[in-house]
Structure 1
Amino acid sequence: MSTERGYHHGDLRTALVQASFELLADGGLQRFSVAAVARRLGVSSAAPYRHFPDRAHLLGAVSAAAARDLGTAITAAADAAGPDPAERLAAVAGAYVRYVARTGAGFQVIYAAELYDFPDDARREQTRALMTTLIDLATATGSSSFQEALQLVEATIAVAHGYTSLLADGFFARKAHSADAVADRATAATRALVTRPRR
């Protein structure tokens, strides 16, 4: 019996997005394709096209879901860090490392260059909301202008994404190789960045 028969028409779309996350976690964006997602899910190569006409449409749905879920994870981590603005922003880095280690969907997926001109209002709403959350957290640390807050967000993302990449590449010693351990390192590095004297 075909696995595909186990899905109702509405459920297959959700299953395809979930399988996309699993594929990204295993192989990254370079190995991502509609055909690979179909194989992972055990459906025919034609099945995904009932819901997603091409790779961009499927990746756009994944991007929107990732932006939404990462935003939720960041907000939760910031709230758990307490009221200090520097600690709240530093928590962003740890939340990012943990999320990407689990899903494979980092900023290279959420803000994929191939989606820049992709007309998807739902995705754009989620990515804008994520960036607004980040800018608000940076502004709260005492940034004197929007531009300064944006630069702080950029630096925080660079630290978090860098640690995530090093984790994926097996850079860290075995005892410090867990996502939680690397998330803690990313948080500490971001804290040092945020609390350094500003010129």
Structure 2
Amino acid sequence: MRKVSRDRGYHHGDLRASLITASFELLAEVGLRRFSVAAVARRLGVSSAAPYRHFPGRDHLLSAVSAAAAHDLRSAIVAAADRAGADPSSRLASVAEAYFRYVVRTGAGFHVIYAAELYAVPDEARREQTRALMATLLELASAVGVPSHRQAVALVEAIVAVAHGYTTLFAEGFFAQGALTVDATAARAVAAAEALIRAAGDR
């Protein structure tokens, strides 16, 4: 995950990269609804006009964040699947853990990666990364033996929905009373994904 110094200094020429990194930090802290170009600029200690030299507006900055998030999330999913071993069901269930951990850390889940406001932004780099992410998810789902592409899509949707639900509840303090850690909550997300996979196999 990209890091920006709390001093908010940046070397000449890499403001674009710093804006993207600061955007992740802001999303993790305040969420998509309160995300703004002005807030990112303040975080970096630059003028409110400086980001517009690289991004025409909020949606274009968010598009660059989406591309980076899709790339990084896909890498996290592939790594988690590899750690899970050869069993297709375990590999697919590991998606829930990878998603949960990534979004808890960055705030950039599918609600950011596939934000409706981005569909009007002609950003082929983002589209390439989101297509690669979805292709990886569908490949993992198809490997468990679902009989059709449509059912693979439905299984991916269900697992991501469960993982995102755990992410949201964790962020909002739902598990605070039970004092569940990130690790314990990630394990619950995986268990829920495993139940979905078993149910899909029973149909």
The 2-side partners of 1:59 and 1:4 are apart by: 20
Q: Deviating runs (4+, > 6 A) in structure 1?
A: none
The 1-side partners of 2:18 and 2:50 are apart by: 11
CA contact (8 A) 1:74 1:92 kept: yes
Given candidates 93, 97, 108, the residue that maps to 1:94 is: 97
The aligned residue for residue 11 of structure 2 is 7
The 1-side partners of 2:34 and 2:10 are apart by: 26
Tell me the alpha carbon deviations over residues 40-79 of structure 1, each in whole angstroms, 9 at most, x when there is no partner.
Answer: 1111111111111100110000000000000000000001
Given candidates 103, 115, 119, the residue that maps to 1:116 is: 119
Of all paired residues, the percent bearing the same amino acid is 67
CA contact (8 A) 2:81 2:90 kept: yes
The 1-side partners of 2:17 and 2:177 are apart by: 35
Where structure 1 has 5 or more consecutive residues not aligned to the other structure, the ranges are none
The 1-side partners of 2:191 and 2:168 are apart by: 17
Where structure 2 has 5 or more consecutive residues not aligned to the other structure, the ranges are 1-6
Size of the alignment, in residue pairs?
196
Q: Which has the higher helix share?
A: 1
CA contact (8 A) 1:4 1:44 kept: no
Tell me the alpha carbon deviations over residues 140-184 of structure 1, each in whole angstroms, 9 at most, x when there is no partner.
Answer: 000111001000001111111110011011001455432222111
SS in 2 for 1:129: helix
Alpha-carbon RMSD across the aligned residues, in angstroms, is 1.4
CA contact (8 A) 1:26 1:104 kept: yes
The 2-side partners of 1:4 and 1:176 are apart by: 33
Given candidates 166, 170, 179, the residue that maps to 2:169 is: 166
The aligned residue for residue 182 of structure 1 is 185
